[in-house]
Amino acid sequence: MSPQKKHFRPRIATVWLAGCSGCHMSFLDLDEWLFDLAEIADVVFSPIADVKEYPENVDAVLVEGAVANEDNLELIRKVRARTKILVAFGDCAVTGNVTALRNPLGGPEVFLERAYVQEADTQPGIPRDHSVVPELLPRVLPLHQVVKVDAYLRGCPPSPAAIRDLLLSALGGEKEKE
């Protein structure tokens, strides 16, 4: 991917789109195995870390959640361009799951109306300052409808053991190519 000399340690990332964070919590449920992970790879980007910009040359990324708004869309495209192995991490990423329950009921307006107009006591109105709050997409999309996905990890959330096995095989595969 990059002309410079290949880094020795695999670089992994986790990304959080429109999901409930449960998939990330299942990742943290790897508990003390996280020490082992830190021995073999660098976590270069994650909601639990401080790096702001999604970096270049990521070997594998776990992406939680569906694509539900303009911000999700922009980020997932960037992630795709900068990552070798993109994993749809959990049912929301794979199928849309709970996040996509809004799809059969029409566009986002009915939802926004319910939340911000009908259920408000003061200043009812849909937040529309799109300079700060991103516009919702007409439909919630699973990852593969937006970008190429290399591996799917089912479950709501996937079990820690499944996450570990997938990471090991993804990182192992990368090692062999070196």
Partner 1 sequence: MTKKGRILTIDPVTRLEGHAKITLHLDDDGQVADARFHVTEFRGFEKFCEGRPLWEMPGITGRICGICPVSHLLASAKAGDDILAVAIPPAADKLRRLMNLGQIIQSHALSFFHLSAPDLLLGMDSDPAKRNVFGLMAAEPKIARDGIRLRQFGQEVIEALGGKKIHPSWAVPGGVRAPLSEESRERLKARLPEALRIAEEALELFRKISGRFSEEADALGNFPSLFLGLVTRDGGWEHYDGVLRVMDAEGAIIADQVDPREYRTLIAEAVEPWSYLKFPYYRKHGYPDGAYRVGPLARLNLCERMPTPLAEEARREFRRTAGDKPVTSSFFYHYARLVEIIASVETAATLLDDPDLLSSHVRAEAGINRTSGVGVSEAPRGTLFHDYQVDEHGLILKVNLIIATGQNNLAMNRTVLQAARHYIRNRKIPEGFLNRIEAGVRAFDPCLSCSTHAFGQMPLQVVLFGPEGETLDERTRE
Least distance CB 73 / partner 1 (angstroms)? 11
Q: How far apart are CA 150 and CA 144, in angstroms?
A: 9
Least distance CB 116 / partner 1 (angstroms)? 5
What type of residue sits at position 85? I
Applying CB under 8 A, the residues found at the interface with partner 1 are 15-26, 28-29, 31-32, 34-35, 38, 43, 45-54, 68-69, 71-72, 74-75, 97-99, 101-102, 105, 108, 110-112, 114-117, 119-129, 131-134, 136, 156-157
The site partner of 141 among ligand SF4, partner 1, none (C-beta below 5 to 8 Å per kind) is none
Query: Closer to ligand SF4 at the Cβ: 83 or 97?
Result: 97
- What's the angle, vertex CA 90, arms to CA 73 and CA 27, rounded to 5? 105
The b/e string for 29-62 (b: 16+ C-beta within 10 A; e otherwise) is: ebeeeeeebeeebebbbbeeeeeeebeeebbbbb
First to last CA, the chain: 12
Asked if residue 157 binds ligand SF4 (CB under 6 A), the reply is yes
Q: How far apart are CA 155 and CA 144, in angstroms?
A: 16
Distances (CA, A) of 56 to 21, 33, 121: 24, 26, 46
The site partner of 38 among ligand SF4, partner 1, none (C-beta below 5 to 8 Å per kind) is partner 1
What is the number of residues in the chain?
178
Q: Can you tell me which residue has the tokens 């095989």? A: 169
The site partner of 136 among ligand SF4, partner 1, none (C-beta below 5 to 8 Å per kind) is partner 1
The site partner of 124 among partner 1, ligand SF4, none (C-beta below 5 to 8 Å per kind) is partner 1
Q: Which of 19, 96, 108, 142 is close enough to bind ligand SF4 by CB under 6 A? A: 19
Q: How far apart are CA 163 and CA 90, in angstroms?
A: 10
In this chain, which stretch among 78-86, 87-95, 123-131, 132-140 interacts with ligand SF4, using CB under 6 A? Answer: 87-95
Residues near ligand SF4 (CB under 6 A) are 19-20, 22-23, 64-65, 90-92, 97-98, 156-157
